[in-house]
Amino acid sequence: MIAFIREIMKNQVVDILNKSELNKEDIVFLLNADPEGTQYLFNKAHETKLKYVGKYIYFRGLIELSNVCSKNCYYCGIRRDNKKVERYSVTDEEVIAAATYALNRNWGSIVIQSGERQDKEFINRIENLLKKITSISEGKLGITLSLGEQKPEVYKRWHNAGATRYLLRIETSDKNLFYKMHPEDTLHDFEKRIQAIYELRNTGYMAGTGVMIGLPYQTTENLANDLLFMKNIDIDMCGMGPYLEHEDTPLWKDKDVLLPVQKRYELSLKMIAILRIIMKDINIASSTALQAIDPHGREEGIKVGANVIMPNITPVKYHSNYNLYKGKPEIAPETDNYIRELEKQIETAGGIIGYGFKGDPLHFNNRKE
């Protein structure tokens, strides 16, 4: 009887994967698929990636600029009210050195990520850094920003200074769940965050978003809606991964209702795979949070549809203080050794590192055409 049920489920997965469009019920079924059905899903996602974006995997050198944040999100270790965090800000000279490291190794891009700030000093500093990096690289380095919500004129200034991609994670597309994860105030406004994604698009950015997977009280229906949300707003890139709890946050109190960490990991891989199938030519990052659960997590993300990896090139002395969640993987002091190991993982996963290419999402150009 069990074998019979498994055969039926496998056939349902195959039928769903043969559809040209997936609806919410299809996605929920895939998220709940058994190991055999999941393997069919992963195979389909890998085939889709090869067909639409190819074997290339793009490095984005990640610079965690600062852990100073004006936001007070209930899940985040660098939230404003966490007094146990040692705050830092990477110097301009260190940022330029990190960008030069990426440039000298023929990477196509960097990412500048930080806690969210909207003050003039921060805005001006980012603009000046963008101009410097664009100048020293002669425009060869693509620059992605992940610096939170800003006014439209700030997005424009940063875009004019050299940034071409912007990642603004929504974390969940369900409004009720959003306000279980954030204070309900003007600094944490659900509609405003969604509107910001459209503002980024209108400014000319390749715009991206992402969600956390395995949040307290989150359902597979929520996750299916997250994927359809990203498809409906027509993102160019995505960064998403498993929710990992942090003991110095308000959401720690809900740790006992969480899915087991391995289940969150498996769901994250399924989310990457399904998103690749429904948004064939976007860029999808294989997150560091996957590696926090499994040493080969980022490699597995590549196998099931991701095509971007973000090696951390922040100076090591700051690394442990950008602690969004507990269990963040430590990078070796010998950064070149760390990168060589990463290269081996990508080759094992069947990828080719796209040295010398910015690796802009094909979806951005295809949509414009």
Q: Encode pLDDT of 269-326 as tens digits.
A: 999 999 999 999 999 999 999 999 998 899 999 999 999 999 999 998 998 899 888 7
Tell me the pLDDT of the chain averaged across its residues.
94
Domain ranges of the chain: 2-368
CB 314 within 8 A of CB 90: yes
Task: For residue 137, name the pLDDT band (cuts at 50, 70, 90).
Answer: very high
Q: Would you say residue 330 has pLDDT above 70?
A: no
2-368 CATH fold? TIM Barrel (3.20.20)
Distance CA(43)–CA(305), nearest Å, equals 9
* pLDDT tens track for 70-93: 999 999 999 999 999 999 999 999
* pLDDT tens track for 174-229: 999 999 999 999 999 999 999 999 999 999 999 999 999 999 999 999 999 999 99
Partners of residue 111 on adjacent β-strands: 62, 144
Q: Would you say residue 333 has pLDDT above 90?
A: no
Scan for tokens 């590549």, then name that residue.
302
Scan for tokens 């920003």, then name that residue.
145
pLDDT the model gives residue 9: 74
